[in-house]
Amino acid sequence: MVRGDFVTLILQSGERRSLRDLGVTNSVDVTLYFLMSDLHVAVLALDDQRHLLATGVVSQVTPALLDGAVTGTFAEGQACFVVTVPELPREVRRLVLVAGHDERPVAQAQALTVHLGGHTFEPLPLLKQEQAVVLLELYATASGWRVAAIGHGYQGGWEELLKAFAASSDQITAWSDQRQTLQQRETFTEWEVRDASGAVLLSLREAQPLPSSRSWSRRCLLPSVPGRSRPNRMRLLEGRARSRGKYARWRSFWRSSPN
């Protein structure tokens, strides 16, 4: 497919390309579309020894690091990262897009697609029992920055992945704490309206607000995966209501059959 003055590509696992050949220059947009509840996505910044830097995890909790050279924007079913290459600190030689689940293999995701500058990479067919995976890697060379499609995972989950990048025990603990913080943010209150027979007519769910650091970026609001509903819409809680924190927005949906 031709887009503008270059051809869009479907990258294969192990394929390496220069960013210039892909039509990408100073600013690199990388977006992961996924359909899996509680999937955590991040970008890791590494030095020339492939070691994780002290402040090298860009995630929903820390969406802007390295003096703003790498920023993340998160919404349901997608995570978008913008890399401003000329502003990267000199010690950053690699940026790695990673994703993982605390309980299930990533292969159980119903959708998992990486977009970079109009090009795509489909890592899902490569995965089996891995709970944390390396999806894509940007790395510096003497001739400029390049990208590698990876699709390699770790059955040992996040701890095994981080240890592969020489993360310290403090960094592993900090990333674990971040994931717990995200899970606490995703709480809500749910009410149900029933008729005389007990059938559920209407369910109202009140969610917590998104923090300002996760504000949506216009450049990252790309189309959702076609034909798929958003992940959190499939996770309906029944029973007593749960509530933590401030109320912000309402989501409603109809159900046609009783419990």
Domain membership flag for residue 246: yes
User: What is the span of the domain harbouring residue 158?
Assistant: 2-185
Residue 153 has pLDDT above 90, yes or no: yes
Q: Residues 54, 163: one domain?
A: yes
For 190-233, write each residue's pLDDT tens digit: 556 667 776 766 655 554 444 444 333 444 544 444 444 444 43
Task: For residue 98, tell me if it sits in a domain.
Answer: yes
206 shares a domain with 121? no
Same domain, residue pair 65 and 173: yes
Sign for the CA dihedral angle at 112, 17, 72, 75 comes to negative
| Whether residues 91 and 110 fall in one domain | yes
Domain shared by 10 and 121, yes or no:
yes
pLDDT digits (tens, 9 = 90+) for 4-59: 455 788 999 999 999 998 998 889 999 999 999 999 999 999 999 999 998 889 99
CB 253 within 8 A of CB 233: yes
Structural domain tally of the chain? 2
**23 in the same domain as 128:** yes
pLDDT in tens, 164-187: 998 888 999 988 888 887 766 654
Give per-residue pLDDT as tens, 44-103. 999 999 999 988 899 988 888 888 999 999 998 999 999 999 999 999 999 999 999 999
The pLDDT assigned to 244 comes to 33
| Whether 240 and 123 share a structural domain | no
- pLDDT tens sequence across 95-136: 999 999 999 999 999 999 999 988 999 999 999 999 999 999
If asked whether residues 25 and 88 sit together in one domain, one would say yes
Statement to judge: residues 144 and 37 lie in one domain: yes
Q: Within a domain: residue 227?
A: yes
Q: Are 56 and 97 in contact (CB under 8 A)?
A: no
Q: Indicate the residue among 160, 185, 210 that finishes a domain.
A: 185
Residue 134 domain-assigned (yes or no)? yes
Whether residues 134 and 65 fall in one domain: yes
Question: How many C-beta atoms surround the C-beta of residue 167 within 10 A?
Answer: 22
Query: Are the C-beta atoms of residues 22 and 115 closer than 8 Å to each other?
Result: no
Q: What integer pLDDT is reported at residue 117 of this predicted model?
A: 86
Q: Specify the pLDDT at position 66.
A: 86
